[in-house]
With several copies, the nearest count.
Chain A
Amino acid sequence: MNKVVANAKAAIQGIEDNMTLMLGGFGLCGIPENCISALVEANIKGLTCISNNAGVDDFGLGLLLQKRQIKKMISSYVGENDEFERQMLSGELEVDLIPQGSLAERCRAGGAGVPAFFTPAGYGTEVALGKEVRYFNGKPHILENALTADFAIVKAWKGDPMGNLVFKGTARNFNPLMAMAGKITIAEVEELVEPGELDPNFIHTPGIFIQRIFQGVNYEKRIEQRTVRQKV
């Protein structure tokens, strides 16, 4: 089973205007840089993007925002982005804000065939508007639906041709969950290894969730908040 494609351009074939995409990453950490660039180049419009954040002005999903390719963002936190703010306030961009844990669980549920689940997060807030409320053990919960996407795009550290993935550090974040929830899931990896090179016991995302994989190039891996201490 060989799911390898040549590059990001080949990987995003079939992504069309007005589709719904999931994109892994937290802030700028663990984002699919190559595929984002390819989406910019292909100038696909009207996208609904499900991603925890919306990048910064000149990197990550901010690049798609600049070119007005995104119609709607579904995220938990969208600070650090002036162009985002401008488009949202002017009404050009629809925004659906979701508690971070609900976002993660809704992606997992979408991939796991669980159409809805109850969570306490958001009860009594705007997030609960129009949602069913039910008490369990005396505590109020709201019903949240699963999320899926036409394409999910994730970034991993290593991957093999069958699509098995390994992530590095906190670049894991939403990637394994979104990988489960795409009708088609694309994985870009820093290193494409030979079949059998990844230990079957230590794979973060089983290849079954991945339809296309390629080794990315020129990763910038920009740091948003460089915080350091000095050696004494």
Chain B
Amino acid sequence: MLDKKGIAKRIAQELQNGWYVNLGIGIPTLIANYVPEGISVEFQSENGILGMGPFPFDGEEDADMINAGKQTITAMSGACIFDSATSFAMIRGQHIQLTVLGAMEVADNGDIANWKIPGKMVKGMGGAMDLVASADNIIVAMMHTNKRGVSKLLRQCTLPLTGVGCVKKIVTNLAVLDVTPNGFKLIERAPGVSVEEIQAATEGRLIVEGDIPEMKID
């Protein structure tokens, strides 16, 4: 089974040279720490920066330099700054090659819910609806089940949707899965996790074809 770092490391293996990447808050943010050797990517934050760098050194924080999670950040050499409309022009116009975000639920048709629990506090969708509706390549990073052990990979979402039919790939603490027209297709198992365990934790349709390899994570 993977921890959050492990999920981030596994998704980092998907990065390709020259990609522009938008990372959501939470597990996705960790991916920036595990970019493979020899791969050069640029991170976009939807509040208006491309070429986002690491956190500033203590004492060098600049209130005018934050990411979409409102964390203080730095800019890499070759970075650029722009307004929110230009930022979402990049996103909506499909100039971003990969979007990674968290989810509360994913359905086996690619629907995603991650912004609202009716009756509880509604914080808002932020940029998530633009991201999922626009990106060709969306990976969801999340735990396979919620805190009560209930599957988050469902036949149908129960929460209000963020986007429809948009998720392409899911990386959880248990598995890597592709979203196909016939449901979740199991691609890899997390180290030490059996197909049966994944099946048991997946409420939506799960496709298991042939031998399922175990992930390779350093």
Contact = CB atoms under 8 A, between A and B. Distances in A.
B122 interface: yes
Contacts of A153: none
Interface of A: 1, 26-30, 52, 75-79, 85, 88-89, 95, 97, 99-105, 107-108, 110-114, 119-127, 157, 160-162, 164, 168-177, 180, 195-196, 198, 200-201, 203-204, 206-209, 221-231
Contacts of B182: none
Given A77-B123, A173-B47, A113 B72 contact: no
Contact of A26 (B42, B84, B125): B84
Interface residues of B, number: 74
A200 B75 contact: yes
Interface stretch (B98-106, B160-168, B210-218): B160-168
A228 B71 CA distance: 9
A172 B81 contact: yes
Contacts of B55: 227-229
A80 to B, nearest CB: 8
A195 B78 contact: yes
B15 to A, nearest CB: 12
A125 B88 contact: no
B121 interface: yes
Contacts of B83: 104, 172-177, 204
B154 interface: no
B63 to A, nearest CB: 4
Given A100-B88, A121-B129, A222 B63 contact: yes
A231 B130 CA distance: 37
Interface in B71-94: 71-73, 75, 77-94
29 contacts: A26-B68, A26-B84, A27-B70, A29-B64, A30-B64, A100-B88, A101-B130, A110-B93, A113-B89, A121-B92, A124-B164, A126-B161, A168-B64, A170-B49, A170-B64, A171-B63, A171-B64, A177-B85, A200-B51, A200-B75, A203-B81, A206-B82, A208-B20, A224-B66, A225-B71, A225-B72, A228-B55, A229-B56, A230-B58
